[in-house]
């Protein structure tokens, strides 16, 4: 497997391997040992969905030192995480909706871990065995609400506040990837996942000591510096090296 996406045609939802823009339909369990059709599908009538349907969306905060500094927050001694509502998920191409235009609402580009096997209490050294792959997300954040409350779930869980996708890359090293965000074509965030305070394997290990992770669960690994406000009409594009870009507009 390489790039795996999730799609809808009519009332049917399915997974497919993406090769040079063509879709090869998956047969069997995507998290097991699936096979793929030998001929590509016709693209007619196919809608792109979020690449997985997780039981949990977990977000990690302050995981780049430069973002902690721009947020005036001390570096965490262990991963800081919270839950985002699964109803906040939207796919590539969907619109981000700002519920309170008078509030400051920010973009945050993030690398995402996709869990592939049920896991509890795994070590960092063994964590890679339980990871299906990696994808791209944004952790859209209502800063006005976030700064007024001691927990961050509400500020980050509004409908449309977690763009995700478009595909899961199953063959990629997550620890040295350029991560960028472009707002209306202007580069706003520009870093590398080598700058993560807690790397992907450490995150899976730490979170799995606190709860069971299930196939399809996603972990947003944090955002680098350069976060900024969004407004209606913006076009946001997240580019992570080796992955298809995640593009969403704002209304």
Average pLDDT, integer, range 155-162: 98
pLDDT at residue 83 greater than cutoff 90: yes
Q: What is the pLDDT of residue 65?
A: 87
Q: What percent of the chain has pLDDT over 90?
A: 92
Q: What is the pLDDT of residue 43?
A: 85
Q: What is the pLDDT of residue 68?
A: 82
Average pLDDT, integer, range 131-149: 97
Confidence of residue 69 (pLDDT cuts 50, 70, 90): confident
pLDDT at residue 1 greater than cutoff 80: no
Q: What is the pLDDT of residue 73?
A: 84
Claim: this prediction has a pTM higher than 0.75:
yes
pLDDT at residue 74 greater than cutoff 90: no
Find the range with the poorest average confidence among 38-42, 173-177, 197-201: 38-42
Average of per-residue pLDDT values in the chain = 96
For residues 72 and 135, the model is more confident at 135
Cβ(84)–Cβ(57) below 8 Å: yes
Q: What is the pLDDT of residue 95?
A: 98
| Strand-strand pairing, 57-61 and 80-84 | antiparallel
Which part of the chain has CATH 2.30.30? 3-47
CA gap 165, 114 in Å, rounded: 11
CA gap 29, 46 in Å, rounded: 20
How far, CA to CA in Å, does 55 sit from each of 8, 68, 103, 116?
19, 28, 29, 12
pLDDT at residue 170 greater than cutoff 90: yes
Domain at 57-250, CATH homologous superfamily: Fumarylacetoacetase-like, C-terminal domain (3.90.850.10)
Q: Which residue in 117, 135, 128 sits closest to 30, CA to CA?
A: 117
**CA pseudo-torsion sign 179, 84, 234, 49:** positive
In words, the CATH class of domain 3-47 is: mainly beta
Which part of the chain has CATH 3.90.850.10? 57-250
Q: Per residue in 16-66, pLDDT tens? A: 999 999 999 999 999 999 999 999 998 889 999 999 999 999 999 999 988
- The structure tokens listed for 162 are 């977690």
Q: What is the pLDDT of residue 67?
A: 87
């Amino acid at each position: 497997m390489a790039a795996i996406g999730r799609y809808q045609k009519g009332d049917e939802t399915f997974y497919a391997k993406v090769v040079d823009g063509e879709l090869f339909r998956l047969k069997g369990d995507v998290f097991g040992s699936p096979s793929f059709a030998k001929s590509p599908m016709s693209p007619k009538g196919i809608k792109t969905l979020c690449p997985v349907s997780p039981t949990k969306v977990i977000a990690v905060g302050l995981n780049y030192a430069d973002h902690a500094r721009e947020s005036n927050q001390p570096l965490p001694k262990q991963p800081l995480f919270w839950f985002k509502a699964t109803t906040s998920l939207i796919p590539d191409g969907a619109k981000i909706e700002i519920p309170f235009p008078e509030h400051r609402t920010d973009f945050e580009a993030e690398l995402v871990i996709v869990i592939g096997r049920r896991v509890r209490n795994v070590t960092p050294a063994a964590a890679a065995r339980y990871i299906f792959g990696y994808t791209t997300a944004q952790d859209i954040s209502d800063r006005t609400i976030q700064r007024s409350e001691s927990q961050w779930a509400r500020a980050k869980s509004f409908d449309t506040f977690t763009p995700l996708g478009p595909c899961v890359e199953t063959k990629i090293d997550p620890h040295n990837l350029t991560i960028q965000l472009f707002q209306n074509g202007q580069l706003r965030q520009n870093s590398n996942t080598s700058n993560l305070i807690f790397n992907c394997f450490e995150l899976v290990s730490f979170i799995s000591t606190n709860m069971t992770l299930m196939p399809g669960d996603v972990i947003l690994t944090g955002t680098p510096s350069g976060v900024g406000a969004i407004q209606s009409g913006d076009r946001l594009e997240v580019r992570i090296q080796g992955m298809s870009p995640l593009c969403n507009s704002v209304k």
